Amino acid sequence: MMPERKPDSIGREIAFEAELAAERAQFGLAERAARFGYWRQRLTDGHTSWSPGMYRLLNIDESQKPDMAWLLSQINDEDAANISRIINNAIKTRSPFFYRSRPKDSSNPALYVDTHGEVDVGPDGKVLSVVGVCHDVTKQVIAEAARAAAEDRYRLMAEESSDIIMLYDSKGRILFASHALQNILGRTPAEIETGHFLELTHPDDLQQAEHLRTQLRPGEIRAATYRVRHRDGHYVWMESNVRGVFAEGAAEPKNIISVSRDVSERKADELKMKAAQEEAEAASRAKSAFLASMSHELRTPLNAIIGFSDIMRDEMFGPMGNSRYSEYAGLIRDSGQMLLDLIADILDTAKIEAGKMEMNFDRADLADILEDCARMLAQRARDSGIQMAMEVPEAGLPLMADRRALKQIVLNLLSNALKFTQRGGHVWINASCDGEFVTLSVRDDGIGIPSEALPRLGRAFEQVATDPMISKTGTGLGLALVRALSEKHGGGMQIDSMESEGTTVVVRLALTPPVEQAEAA
């Protein structure tokens, strides 16, 4: 007959069972949330037990009887052999163990399982059982593999890049440096760390290099170009871009990224171009100085030659005795005047090229200037058997212009037209007002210009003449001056021509000069 239990004893048992059930429920919840389970195997009789979480990891029904041999058969063969060796060693050494396993069936959700185990040792020192806690680490392993692959890709990109890529911490210590540092400068990270690169920087470039070290702001990219001494002793031109990596809301960077490249070849080209430009500017200044200094020396004797030839030609002090002397005096006078005009054109061209041609803008009438220039060249036209015709508005063509420059434009255009028109030909002069511009057109029916030569005209000393005798009488400065002077007046020049049919030169001049020239005037 069993002893009768007291009511308070029954109550404690019920409470204990309820507490135990609650703990099991909490443990089961923890197993599901953390995706782990455990197994236990007694060595004395081989009895095996699995927790509910273990069944979930194995993706099998809880009705299946726990069996360690079956479990090992579900694991990758290589891993299974390794597991047996690890557990046997743990039993022999009475020590904890760990292994990672993969299932044979790749459809199992738990592709990677980490097992941490212990051995249960009895009072007599014998191992009674082995316990393993299994944790599904599939997501972790996949994430680690993806991160490792990404790191490998970025490392490969950085190592194979021709640029020097460097990562610094907030103290200026180098955390990473690509192989390009060694390839370009022959240096190690330790040689340039924490500002040591300033010791290798060319003294003339220290300010540029130090600019990279000042406090960076979020979003700022700082650039500098400077020279760094190679291990061999020569200097390498480097172009560096530096930016900071900031935590959200932080004022100071937690890391600094620097990307530098070798620009020595580019800098060498720049220095060559600069030297060539300086040389060209020096040559231009020397040319301008020479022309300016020679102008007086050339003009003075030419004026004397022209003056005395005028006296001789006009027989101011009596007859010379032979008509040929008068003819020769005229030739001397004409040649001297031609040379004087040439010197004036050369000096004006030099001034324009040097940007020192001053325009004196005033009220002028292009119609009056056209008539004056036509009268000056009328005798030459008659002697050459060329007819000139002019059409201008009766009211005139008033504009703001430099009178001397306008006369140069007109005389050059008319002289060219007469020079390249054969006897019996014609030269037409037309001028009109077109909105804010005055348009001047000089057309002839002379020898014309080949189409392939048109682009060259208007550049100094460029000549295009099909007749070698005609080409000897010019310098190629006339149209260059016309173009430059028309541009000084806010306009331009256009040439249209056909070989053997004639040439038309159109010049446009602004009624009001450009603002900066008007203010200077």
Using one digit for the tens of pLDDT, what is the confidence trace for 106-130?
787 778 999 999 999 888 888 899 9
What are the strands, taking DSSP E only, across 246-318? Answer: 255-262
Burial class of residue 408, CB neighbours in 10 A (0-12, 13-18, 19+): buried
Task: Say if residue 511's pLDDT is above 80.
Answer: yes
Helix (H, G, I), strand (E, B) or coil at 451: helix
- The identity of residue 47, as a single letter, is H
Q: What pLDDT, on the 0 to 100 scale, is given for residue 398?
A: 92
Residue 146 CB neighbours (<10 A): 10
- Least confident span in 97-111, 474-488, 491-505: 474-488
Closest CA to 510 of 407, 410, 399, 357: 399
Question: Average pLDDT for residues 488-504, to the nearest whole number?
Answer: 88
- Indicate the pLDDT class of residue 519, thresholds 50, 70 and 90: very low
Q: What is the mean pLDDT of residues 3-23?
A: 54
Residue 19 confidence (pLDDT): 55
pLDDT of 302-339, one tens digit each?
777 777 777 777 777 777 777 777 777 777 776 677 67
Determine which of 40-44, 204-208, 236-240, 467-471 has the lowest per-residue pLDDT on average. Answer: 467-471
Confidence of residue 14 (pLDDT cuts 50, 70, 90): low
Classify residue 175 by its DSSP letter. E
Q: What is the bridge-based pairing of β-strands 426-434 and 387-391?
A: parallel
Residue 332 carries which side chain, given as an amino acid letter?
Answer: I
**Structure confidence at residue 399 (pLDDT):** 92
Considering the chain, what is the average pLDDT of its residues? 81
Does position 300 have pLDDT exceeding 80, yes or no? no
Tally of CA atoms within 13 A in the half-sphere of 68 that contains its CB: 18
Confidence bin at 470 (pLDDT 50/70/90):
very low
Q: What angle do CA 478, 480, 482 make, to 5 degrees?
A: 70
In which region does residue 408 sit, left (phi positive, over 0), alpha (psi from -120 to 50) or beta (all else)?
A: alpha
For 382-416, what is each residue's pLDDT tens digit? 989 999 999 999 888 999 998 888 988 998 899 88
Identity at 162, one-letter amino acid code: S
pLDDT(164) > 60? yes
Tell me phi and psi for residue 259, to 5 degrees.
Answer: -125, 120
Percent of the chain at pLDDT above 90?
A: 28
Measured over the CA atoms of residue 268, residue 273, residue 276 and residue 282, the dihedral's sign is negative
> What confidence category does residue 7 fall into, taking pLDDT thresholds of 50, 70 and 90?
low
Percentage above 70 pLDDT, the chain: 81
Which is it for strands 502-510 and 221-229: parallel, antiparallel or unpaired?
A: unpaired
Check residue 461 and give its pLDDT.
43
Nearest C-alpha neighbor of 458 from the set 488, 485, 437: 485
Q: DSSP state, 473? A: T
Q: Which strands, in side-by-side order, build the sheet including 97-101?
A: 48-50, 36-42, 127-136, 113-121, 97-101
Token pair for residue 211?
């600019």
**Three-class SS of 342-399:** HHHHHHHHHHHHCCCCCCCCEEEEHHHHHHHHHHHHHHHHHHCCCEEEEECCCCCCEE
pLDDT average, residue stretch 47-59: 87
pLDDT the model gives residue 29: 61
Contact 347, 295 (CB under 8 A): yes
Q: What is the pLDDT of residue 454?
A: 66
Strongest mean pLDDT among 50-64, 144-158, 261-275, 323-337: 261-275
- Can you read off the two tokens belonging to residue 17? 């069972």
What's the angle, vertex CA 291, arms to CA 271 and CA 337, rounded to 5? 145
Give the pLDDT score at 354: 64
Lowest-pLDDT range of 410-424, 427-441, 446-460, 505-519: 446-460
Q: What is the pLDDT of residue 2?
A: 47
Residue 284 is given by DSSP the state H
